[in-house]
Every structure is written in structure tokens, then in C-alpha cells.
């Protein structure tokens, strides 16, 4: 077994030692030092009256997660909820209190003076419109990812954010995840040398992961505000699957690329400070979920990231597969000239190496062993003379692996929420890194992957100017 695989096996067996440390641990000393957990600290409310009132727009799956997470941040309260399915409004009162203001029309939430901040947890095709309306209404905005449904919607959100002076954060929690931020430190310290390539994937195997969400029994279409749901999407008669499983349809969702590449790219941009790739090429297929959906369930993309003052040029490959039986997982691998960082959702392992300063040869597998013995001996004699063993490193030296694990029950969504509320409390929108420009720069390559797969061509993107580049 090679030493890396052996280490990973040992690591698998020593989770208990690593869990709870939330810090970098040299694999060989795992469990011996327990440094304190490094998580983002919430700013304290100045008084009991210092409360940030929240309006939730979209009380579906992530609306519940996001709001419950936000309510764990000190000095927050929910006052209003909008949704287009009446039973979800009933449920909102059951969960968050009977005094809650509820409505089908999100504009009524925005019109309320007591709402300071909104969580926008609606399908992707509504993200830009509601974000812009909320910023114009003077609300701080936490908008779920991807920030936009189509690339050309991005600039208007950026403009509205700039004009508003309010805090705006996109909801891909990778931007605040402890494993990502710790990997960023290692990357910036030059621990893996010059970046050459990044590989990522996010695979899912189950029906829930593949967006086959539970539909209500005895559905009454009158409980659904179908016309409002359609928004700027093409008009069509009510279809329950499209409402409850909207992600499977490109009129409302952004497919596996827009929906999930965006997490992987957010992590990548957070670690490297990259603004995005210049060329995107992707393949898309619908292999497994033949349930009427029109979104691909498998997309693989390659992108090239240009050289900048922060990074060398590097290749990026990414994939989301909802169709595999091989096991769901998320992975990011940064490959540098001096090492590799393998990142999961809440952990990473870094393997570093020291490069030799003499040219390498191998007695076992090289052209050398194909030469006559006398010639081999002469080669080695000359090599030893030119690169004496004491003065030169003549082989790659692997250093002990370094592992990072977050504590058990670590929740990066909470860290991300804390960043949002800290920026509001500090009255400092720039505390948010995943702002509207970041949001466009993460969403656009993801959406361009969809375009590339559909049009079967390379899509060119200007990551600095944030615009598509036409090819002649």
C-alpha cells in the first residue's frame, strides 16, 4: 500500500482523535495537541433592543435551514415570511410563531419598515428580481446561490448592490467554511508551490439529492400562486412537478452546473482569490433521471484560469453526476508543484513534497537499464561526481501529511450567516467576501458550462470585466 493511501486509511481510523480540534494536525502527532477551534465569532448586540429583524422570502427546504441558522446568531428575530404555497405559510406560523406576518407577495415583506434584512430562498429564476427589489427597498440581502439564472442578469444585481450601500451576501457557504479558509491559508503560504491544476466533483446518488422532492398529498392547485411563480419564465398551465421540483427544469433552475458547480467554484475562488476562467467547455447528458426533467443530470466541464498577479495559469476540471451508483461525495483537489491539497466538505489533507535539486534518474525504471552495464556504471560514476549525495537532494522527499478536520457538528452555514450579520452590525458591507461581484464571477462559469454543453462549443468569458466574449 503506498504511503498516501496508508495515511488516509489511518486518518479514517483516527477521526475521533481529529474530531473536535478544528485545527491543523500533523498526521503523525494527531491527537497529541488540541489547539482551540477557529470559527467565526458573532458580534454581540449592543443592547436588548439591538435586534436585526428578518424577512424570509421562500419558506421551502433551504428557507427553513437558513432562517433557523440565522436565528442562532445573537440578536436576530423573524417578523415576516413570504411564500407561494399556502401550506408553507401555515407551517411558517407553526414553526416561527403565530404572530408572524405572512403573505404570498414578497413585496409586502419589503414594504415593512420593521424588516432589516431578507433571506431570499426562492427558485433561481427569481433571485435577481427579488434581490434588486430588496436592495432598492433598503434591506440587507442574503440571496441563495446561484445569484442569477442567466449571465446577463448579473450586472443589474451588482449595480443595485453598489447603489444601496447595504450588505449583500450570496448563500454559498463555501466562502466561510473553515476547511476552505484553512486551505486558503496553506495555499497562500505557498505550501503546495505553484498551482498547476484543480479537479473538483460533487456526486449524488439518492432521489433527494437528485431533486425528486416530496410532493404534497391531495394537492389543491388553488393553494399555489402559479402565475407569480412563473415570473419571467414562459407561461404554461399549472404543473405540480414544475412547482415542487423546479430544479429539474431549466426555465426555473440552473441545472447541476448552475446549482452545484457554483459551490465548487466559490470554494476555489475563495482559496485562490481567482476571478474566474477565460474559456469554458462542457459536456452534458441526461442519463438516469428520465422523469420528465429537461436539465442534465451529468455535466463535466474543463476551464482555463489565466495567469494573474495572484496565481499562475491553471487548468480546472469539474463534474456533477446525479446518476452514478458510485457513491455521493464532494471533492476539490489542488495540485501544485510542491504538493497537493485534497478538500472534502469539512476537512482536508495536504501532502507536500520536496523537489530534488539534482536531475532524477531511476535504476529500476528508466532508459538507464536498457544500456550495457559498462555504460550504466559510467553514467552513475559521472552523476555521483557531478551531484554528490551529501550536497544534493537527488530524490523527491514526501513530507508527513497534514490534516484538517472541523469539529463534530460544525456548520459552515452558521459561519456564513455570522459573516452576514457581522457585516450588518458593523455597518460594513465589505466584511462580506461573497458579494454581488463574487456571486456573478462564481455563477457565470457555471452557467457558461450549461451553455457550452447545449451549444456544443467553447464559451469565452472575461472574468475581470465580467462579460461573455463573442467568438468570431
Ligand X SMILES: NC(=O)c1ccc[n+]([C@@H]2O[C@H](COP(=O)([O-])OP(=O)(O)OC[C@H]3O[C@@H](n4cnc5c(N)ncnc54)[C@H](O)[C@@H]3O)[C@@H](O)[C@H]2O)c1
Q: What is the binding site for ligand X (CB under 6 A)?
A: 57-63, 82-85, 88, 106, 121-124, 126, 144-145, 171-173, 228-229, 246, 259
Q: Least distance from C-beta 131 to ligand X, angstroms?
A: 11
Residue nearer to ligand X on the CB measure, 244 or 305: 244
C-beta of 187 vs 252, nearer to ligand X: 252
CA 102 to chain centre: 31
Long-range contacts of 298-302 (CB under 8 A, 24+ apart): 298/256, 298/322, 298/323, 299/255, 299/256, 299/257, 299/261, 299/449, 299/450, 299/453, 301/257, 301/261, 301/445, 301/449, 301/452, 301/453
Indicate left, alpha or beta for 31 from its phi (over 0: left) and psi (-120 to 50: alpha).
left
Q: What's the closest the beta carbon of residue 266 comes to ligand X, in angstroms?
A: 10
Residue 367 vs residues 3, 270, 356, 371, 375: alpha-carbon distances, Å: 26, 43, 19, 7, 11
Q: State in angstroms the smallest separation of the CB of 376 from ligand X.
A: 59
Q: How far apart are the C-alpha atoms of 278 and 463, rounded to whole Å?
A: 7
Distance of closest approach, residue 28 Cβ to ligand X, in angstroms: 35
By the 10 Å C-beta count (0-12 exposed, 13-18 middle, 19+ buried), 404 is classed as buried
In the complex, the smallest distance separating the C-beta of residue 150 from ligand X, rounded to whole angstroms, is 14
Query: 172 or 275: whose CB is closer to ligand X?
Result: 172
- Could you tell me if 168 and 141 are in contact, meaning their C-beta atoms sit under 8 angstroms apart? yes
Angle, in degrees to the nearest 10, between helices 412-425 and 61-70: 60
* Residue 7 or 243 having the CB closest to ligand X: 243
Please state, in angstroms and as integers, the Cα–Cα distance from residue 31 to each residue in 24, 26, 39, 405, 417, following that order.
Answer: 11, 9, 19, 12, 30
* CB of residue 293 to ligand X, shortest distance in Å: 14
* CB closer to ligand X, 224 vs 350: 224
Under a CB-based contact definition with an 8 Å cutoff, are residues 31 and 403 in contact? no
Nearest residue (CB) to ligand X, 27 versus 117: 117
CA separation for the pair 373, 214 (Å, rounded): 72
Cβ-based nearer residue to ligand X, 266 or 321: 266
* Residue with smaller CB distance to ligand X, 7 or 106: 106
Residue whose CB is less far from ligand X, 250 or 351: 250
The CB-nearest residue to ligand X is 60
In 3D, which of 312, 317, 321, 353 has the Cα closest to residue 332? 317
Which grid coordinates belong to 370?
536498457
CA distance 276 to 440: 10
Kindly state the smallest distance separating residue 466's Cβ from ligand X, in Å: 20
Smallest distance, ligand X to C-beta of residue 203, A: 16
- For residues 231 and 129, what is the distance between their CA atoms, to the nearest angstrom? 9
Minimum CB–partner distance for residue 164 and ligand X (Å): 20
Give alpha helix (H) positions in 206-321. 226-230, 240-244, 255-256, 262-272
**Element (H or E) spanning 279, and its range?**
strand 279-285
Shortest reach from residue 219's CB to ligand X, in Å: 13
Q: Residue 80 or residue 192: which is nearer to ligand X going by CB?
A: 80
Amino acid at each position: 500500500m503506498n504511503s498516501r493511501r496508508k495515511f488516509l486509511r489511518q486518518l479514517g481510523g483516527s477521526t475521533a482523535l481529529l474530531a473536535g480540534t478544528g485545527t491543523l494536525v500533523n498526521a503523525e502527532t494527531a491527537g497529541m495537541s488540541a489547539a482551540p477551534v477557529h470559527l467565526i465569532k458573532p458580534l454581540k448586540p449592543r443592547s436588548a433592543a439591538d435586534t436585526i429583524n428578518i424577512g424570509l422570502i421562500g419558506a421551502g427546504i433551504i428557507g427553513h435551514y437558513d432562517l433557523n441558522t440565522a436565528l442562532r446568531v445573537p440578536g436576530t428575530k423573524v417578523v415576516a415570511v413570504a411564500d407561494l404555497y399556502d401550506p408553507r405559510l401555515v407551517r411558517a406560523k407553526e414553526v416561527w410563531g403565530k404572530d408572524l406576518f405572512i403573505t404570498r407577495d414578497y413585496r409586502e415583506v419589503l414594504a415593512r419598515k420593521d424588516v432589516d434584512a431578507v433571506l431570499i430562498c426562492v427558485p433561481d429564476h427569481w433571485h435577481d428580481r427579488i434581490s434588486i427589489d430588496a436592495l432598492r427597498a433598503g434591506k440587507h440581502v442574503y440571496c441563495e446561490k446561484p445569484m442569477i439564472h442567466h449571465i446577463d442578469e448579473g450586472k443589474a444585481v451588482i449595480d443595485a448592490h453598489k447603489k444601496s450601500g447595504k450588505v449583500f451576501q450570496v448563500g454559498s457557504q463555501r466562502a466561510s467554511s473553515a476547511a476552505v479558509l484553512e486551505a486558503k491559508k496553506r495555499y497562500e503560504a505557498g505550501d503546495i508551490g505553484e498551482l498547476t491544476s484543480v479537479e473538483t466533483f460533487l456526486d449524488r446518488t439518492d432521489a433527494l439529492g437528485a431533486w425528486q422532492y416530496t410532493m404534497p398529498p391531495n394537492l389543491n392547485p388553488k393553494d399555489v400562486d402559479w402565475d407569480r411563480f412563473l415570473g419571467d419564465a414562459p407561461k404554461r398551465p399549472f404543473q405540480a412537478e414544475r412547482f415542487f421540483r423546479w430544479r429539474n427544469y431549466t426555465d426555473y433552475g440552473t441545472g447541476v452546473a448552475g446549482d452545484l458547480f457554483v459551490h465548487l467554484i466559490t470554494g476555489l475562488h475563495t482559496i485562490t482569490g481567482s476571478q474566474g476562467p477565460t474559456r469554458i467547455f462542457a459536456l452534458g447528458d441526461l442519463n438516469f433521471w428520465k422523469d420528465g426533467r429537461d436539465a442534465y443530470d451529468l455535466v463535466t466541464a474543463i476551464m482555463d484560469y489565466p495567469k494573474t498577479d495572484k496565481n499562475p495559469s491553471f487548468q480546472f476540471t469539474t463534474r456533477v453526476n446525479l446518476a452514478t451508483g458510485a457513491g455521493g461525495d464532494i471533492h476539490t483537489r489542488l495540485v501544485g508543484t510542491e504538493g497537493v491539497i485534497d478538500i472534502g466538505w469539512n476537512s482536508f489533507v495536504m501532502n507536500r513534497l520536496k523537489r530534488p535539486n539534482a536531475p532524477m534518474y531511476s535504476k529500476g525504471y528508466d532508459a538507464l537499464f536498457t544500456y550495457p552495464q559498462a555504460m550504466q556504471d559510467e553514467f552513475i560514476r559521472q552523476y555521483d561526481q557531478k551531484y554528490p549525495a551529501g550536497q544534493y537532494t537527488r530524490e523527491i522527499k514526501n513530507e508527513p501529511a497534514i490534516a484538517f478536520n472541523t469539529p463534530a457538528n460544525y456548520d459552515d452555514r452558521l459561519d456564513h450567516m455570522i459573516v452576514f450579520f457581522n457585516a450588518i452590525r458593523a455597518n460594513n458591507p465589505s466584511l462580506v467576501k461573497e458579494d454581488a461581484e463574487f456571486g456573478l464571477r462564481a455563477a457565470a462559469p457555471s452557467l457558461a458550462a450549461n451553455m457550452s454543453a447545449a451549444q456544443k462549443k467553447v464559451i469565452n468569458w472575461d472574468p475581470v470585466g465580467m462579460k461573455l466574449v463573442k467568438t468570431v
